[in-house]
Structure 1
């Protein structure tokens, strides 16, 4: 079912977005604490609210969430120091508080929203396999003709999302997500710092490989380039620099 065939979007009220961030987890490969990525929350949030959309924050288990340290513009690494949107989000108490009391995805009413957007970070790669409510809700949005979107490692949800007929949601669909070339870059970075041995990897599996194995037409734009793709009512973004572009594709799918 395509969005164009659906009456799910009501043009007489503000669009409503359910934005899902990951709960804290521990990496099984590095032993490090992992979480969501700030720009994948703040950039889409800004794009949606700037359009007058209503945005509510969810997580698979609900409750307080923690971001990956390097996604915080205040982190000593300086990795995200140029991310002024995330800095503004963090510096606004009302917004910063949103990640302290997320609602569980089990309480997400699909009928209330026009789109679901699943943000990434490192945690989804270790925690989304058990997030069965998220798998089901994502498919519910998709099969209702509403926009179902995922970004960066948030596209891990597509590994587990099965349609009501049992087929993988991504089979035959054009999608993107965190690319192998970007996983190689991350692996080389930790190897160069002697944080992992050469036979170890930051991630336990790879988005690009898995989506291809499920029958998706996986595409990407190259290392760290902002990129998102829309296939009907399915929207995917490549990595953490693609939050705004992913939001634009969702807005386009919702009719502006």
Structure 2
């Protein structure tokens, strides 16, 4: 176990679309692929969610053959953390040097306006820690303000789930907002892959973001590179 770094992984509790009967939740590979990179460094981690308790998994993400998903979802210790996530009020930010926001459409409902998660993010970042997010999890950064009142993402290189990707999934009418549009409104310097659904990340100093589920491993690799190789 690496005692110098502890990671805080944030997951959604929200499951309902506006009208679709199918349920959303955490897109499983966005935690497993990211953590697979951290596990090589034996980095301990905790899972937190807006309400604490069980983290719901988007069933679509369970239906895909994925060896990394199977490896970690069937790991008892890992599974226990997902089923018994901490509440934001349980978190002592000084304990962590890295915070990572997983995605899944549910995050669009319960990440952006959670003030305690914003405070935790600010404290970790201003203490010299890393902030990372992938896909819809980037929505958690929309309203994070630093101690000087400025938005964390303003004039920063950022990516996140693209509007074209949302349109291709035919979910634009099922969600509260389009992430790419909101990031641009907050004056983030948004970029995306030329081809939808391909891995793509942006790095702006201690801020690392990934565009879509296939970007989670690249986010993990880059975070580890930034934390251990510089």
Q: Mark yes or no: TM-score above 0.5.
A: yes
Aligned to 1:255: 228
Counterpart pick for 1:162 among 138, 141, 145 = 145
Aligned to 2:185: 213
8 Å CA contact 1:14, 1:52 repeated in 2: no
Answering whether residue 161 of structure 2 is matched by residue 178 of structure 1, we say yes
User: Which deviations, in whole Å up to 9, do the C-alpha atoms of 1:5-61 show, x marking residues without a partner?
Assistant: xxxxxxx83421111111133223535432111001111111101122112211122
1:104 Cα deviation from its structure 2 partner: 1.1
1:92 Cα deviation from its structure 2 partner: 2.3
Answering whether residue 201 of structure 2 is matched by residue 228 of structure 1, we say yes
Equivalent pairs, count: 227
8 Å CA contact 1:26, 1:33 repeated in 2: yes
Aligned to 1:133: 116
* Structure-2 separation of matches of 1:118 and 1:105: 13
Aligned to 2:218: 245
* Structure-1 separation of matches of 2:27 and 2:116: 21
Answering whether residue 184 of structure 2 is matched by residue 201 of structure 1, we say no
* Structure-1 separation of matches of 2:114 and 2:16: 15
8 Å CA contact 2:14, 2:24 repeated in 1: yes
What stretches of structure 1 of length at least 5 have no aligned partner?
1-11, 191-199
Structure with bigger gyration radius:
1
8 Å CA contact 1:152, 1:178 repeated in 2: yes
* Structure-1 separation of matches of 2:15 and 2:174: 14
* Structure-2 separation of matches of 1:245 and 1:168: 25
* Structure-2 separation of matches of 1:130 and 1:233: 22
**What secondary structure is seen at the aligned counterpart in 1 of 2:169?**
helix
* Structure-2 separation of matches of 1:106 and 1:24: 18
Aligned to 1:18: 8
Aligned to 1:110: 93
1:164 Cα deviation from its structure 2 partner: 2.2
Aligned to 1:5: none
8 Å CA contact 1:28, 1:126 repeated in 2: no
8 Å CA contact 1:237, 1:243 repeated in 2: yes
* Structure-2 separation of matches of 1:25 and 1:254: 33
Counterpart pick for 2:46 among 45, 56, 60 = 56
8 Å CA contact 1:25, 1:127 repeated in 2: no
User: Which deviations, in whole Å up to 9, do the C-alpha atoms of 1:179-219 show, x marking residues without a partner?
Assistant: 112111111xx6xxxxxxxxx62322111111111111101
C-alpha RMSD of the superposition:
1.8
8 Å CA contact 2:113, 2:143 repeated in 1: no
**What secondary structure is seen at the aligned counterpart in 2 of 1:66?**
coil
8 Å CA contact 1:119, 1:153 repeated in 2: yes
